[in-house]
Amino acid sequence: MALRFIDGFDHYSIPSQIPLKYASYNDSGGSSGITTMTGRRSGSTALLFRTSSDFIGLTFDPQSTWIVGFGLYMLSTETTELLRFTDEAGTIQGALSIGNDGTIRVYRNSVTSGTLLATSTNALPILTWNYIEVKYTIADSGGNWEVRVNESTWINFTGDTKQSTTLSTAVRIQIWGRGSDNAIDDLYVCDSTGSNNNTFLGDVRVDTVRPISAGNYSEFSKQGSASNWDNLDDTTIDSDSTYNYSNTVGQRDTLDCGNLPAITGSIFGVQVNMAARKDDAGGRTLRSLTRVSSTDYEGASQNVGTDYRVYRQVMEQNPNTTAAWTESEINGAEFGYKVQA
């Protein structure tokens, strides 16, 4: 697969539930910590950083090429790091910053101690949303930084982009705050593998849909609400207030979710987000369950821990057609989960 992660920041409480989705983060807290603001579209939410010490981080398997896109809103300009790529040994391979003149800059290693490789001619304006996309390939020679703003190429550097002496990969991607407020929205992460979504996706949006009624299966026991779907339709995750539970291998729930907003462009994938935990010792695995045209399709097995986390399953294609999803297919599908073991 190539599409690895998406987030529209609309379905969990920020900042308290950031650890449910992100492998690493820092929140300064209080009036200087991470919070939210109105996103790029009416009714949507953006993640707002208010200090340069705060970040969110994702950890994946090692890849030599990563593609990252997100909407960016800056309240003022200053020189500081925005995006960082780190290998599995902890070496910062490369980083991207925005200067106090609004130009975009890319580095081998870190912004503070690395080598500046390229600077954009154009400058980002403040107080407006711009969609930033970065394709970073790590190599001693033939490495590449390509940065696009609103689908226009601002930087295209080829050369030595590798800081590590032994590794030509990155596993951790971090997005950082700045000394003055900046917000991000509609985040995606791709790698360069496979035949789909292995390059820039363009200016995209991430839409969240929630359960609105029962699907074909309601086999879990319920706590808090009168129906399984109603336990899971919260605007943000409410942990042990309302939930469904089972320790029976093979039991399933599927849910009918609300329709997507009208779509005119391509659909690059669907991500099923499952907030789950186990409440006893011993192994427990969970799978996503997608039901399309009366047929069930299971995701990969995921090991569940004792604290709530968001377990995700990305499907780039409709498993029933093995082609890109359409709006009507998503609206007609059911999404849920299964106790695998």
Average pLDDT, rounded, for the chain: 96
Model pTM score: 0.96
Q: List, for residues 310-338, the tens digit of each pLDDT value.
A: 999 999 999 999 999 999 999 999 999 99
Mapped onto helix, strand or coil, the DSSP state of residue 4 is: strand
Alpha helices in the chain (DSSP H): 18-21, 327-332
* pLDDT at 30 > cutoff 90: no
CATH class for domain 3-191?
A: mainly beta
**Tokens describing residue 195:** 């035949």
| 228 confidence band (pLDDT: 50, 70, 90) | very high
Q: 3-191 and 211-339 share one CATH topology?
A: yes
CB neighbours of 21 closer than 8 A, spacing ≥ 6? 7, 12, 273, 309, 310
**CA distances in angstroms from 11 to 33, 277, 310, 313, listed in the order given:** 19, 18, 11, 16
List the chain domain ranges: 3-191, 211-339
Token pair for 319: 């498993």
Cβ 187 vs Cβ 6: under 8 Å: yes
Q: For position 80, what pLDDT does the model report?
A: 80
Q: Which amino acid is at 71?
A: G
Mean pLDDT computed over 155-180: 95
| CA dist., res. 302 & res. 93, Å (int) | 29
Q: Is 187 helix (H, G, I), strand (E, B) or coil?
A: strand
Confidence of residue 78 (pLDDT cuts 50, 70, 90): confident
How buried is 254 (Cβ within 10 angstroms: 0-12 exposed, 13-18 middle, 19+ buried)?
A: buried
pLDDT band at 48 (very low <50, low <70, confident <90, very high): very high
Is 66 a residue whose pLDDT tops 90?
yes
Above 80 in pLDDT, residue 180? no
What class is the 211-339 domain?
A: mainly beta
**What Rg do the C-alpha atoms of the chain give, in angstroms?**
21
Residue where the block lists tokens 């309302």: 242
State what percent of residues in the chain have pLDDT above 90: 93
Residue 199: which pLDDT band, with cuts at 50, 70 and 90? very high
Using the predicted structure, report yes or no on whether residue 281 has a pLDDT greater than 80. Answer: yes
